[in-house]
Amino acid sequence: MTADGGPELVQLLTPEGERVHHPDYDVELTPDQLRGLYRDLVLVRRVDAEATALQRQGELGLWAQCVGQEAAQVGSGRALAPGDFAFPTYREHGVAWSRGVQPLQLLGLFRGVTNGGWDPHEHNMALYTIVIGDQTLHAVGYAMGMQRDGDDSAVICYFGDGASSQGDVNEAFVFSAVYNAPVVFFCQNNQWAISEPLERQTRIPLYRRADGFGFPGVRVDGNDVLAVLAVTQAALAAAREGQGPTLIEAFTYRMGAHTTSDDPTRYRVAADLEAWKLKDPIERLKVYLARNGWAGHEWFAEIEAEAEALAVDLRRGCREMPEPEKTSMFDHVYAEPHALVDEERAQFEAYHASFVGGGH
């Protein structure tokens, strides 16, 4: 497996910002649309950086960084139609942005003041899943339900290279293939399953695993937002047309830590990180825009100013989040009242009332 993704990699924008074409996948965007993608990438990175800083200041319990993976997330998120449904893991901040989930809703989850963060049906995006690989089965089940309802939309399911080693993922592949479910599996291969490198998890490129289950697999440059958009649009279209699942392997790199509780300097070499900085998804699109005269210094400065204003709002909003009622965890277990949940709530309230002052 080569460090540049190999000859099978679908790429439409080189790390040097040069536009290339692919015989099977392509996308034509207007300058406005290209600027929109650039804005998304910059703002998502700013959200990520601000959340990391807030965690270091003790305002968040944890944060899973997505720095370096913005193109994989924005490109695939923008490929979704309004009726499609996304099942994320816990790092898909760019997908959440694309689906209209407010960044403060993400921060609320990591601050521990909400048990979810947003209404999944409002954004057609499920809540974050911390358990590795679980959401792949949820996604396939949801896709099979849509299929039986006659819905012509599709499902996309996100996971990482580490999750590809989980049994749940393999079971999801089996069910999706057998039932021809309208689902796109989107694997962000960021090279590391926490501290475990990819070469210790597989002998073949991840996208080729799809062969064994009988559906197509594609490897795309995960730092190329145009290629990700084109490949994901094609896979979603195939799913909607009844052609079943596709596995997309977005070949990228986790430039930050696994989470803010991790120290990647203990298990990977600095030279790798420096090499991947040259493939930065934001810089290559910036070069492409500037080279074609579609954006200049003034416009780029406006985007940077917008990003900084967003960060200011996040800092203030995060610190102003109200503490939840201590029994709120029982509120949405079932849609209707449930005797066992009511009993557990009463026990919980009695436990807290047993402390002096009753407020613990």
Query: β-strand 192-193 against 196-197: which pairing, if any?
Result: antiparallel
**CA–CA distance, 281 with 296 (Å, rounded to integer):** 18
In the annotation, is 142 catalytic? no
- From the candidates 90, 258, 284, 288, give the one annotated as an active-site residue: 258
Q: Is the dihedral of CA 256, 258, 260, 266 positive or negative?
A: negative
Structure tokens at 52: 């990391």
- From the candidates 56, 267, 338, 352, give the one annotated as an active-site residue: 267
Those residues with Cβ within 8 angstroms of residue 355's Cβ, 6 or more apart along the chain or in another chain: none
42 to 49, 162, 184, 254: CA distances (angstroms) = 11, 27, 26, 17
**CA–CA distance, 181 with 245 (Å, rounded to integer):** 6
In the annotation, is 254 catalytic? yes
In the annotation, is 240 catalytic? no
46-59 burial, b at 16+ Cβ within 10 Å, e below that, comes to bbbebbbebbeeeb
- From the candidates 35, 78, 254, 284, give the one annotated as an active-site residue: 254
**CA–CA distance, 340 with 333 (Å, rounded to integer):** 11
> Which sequence positions are flagged as catalytic?
254, 258, 267
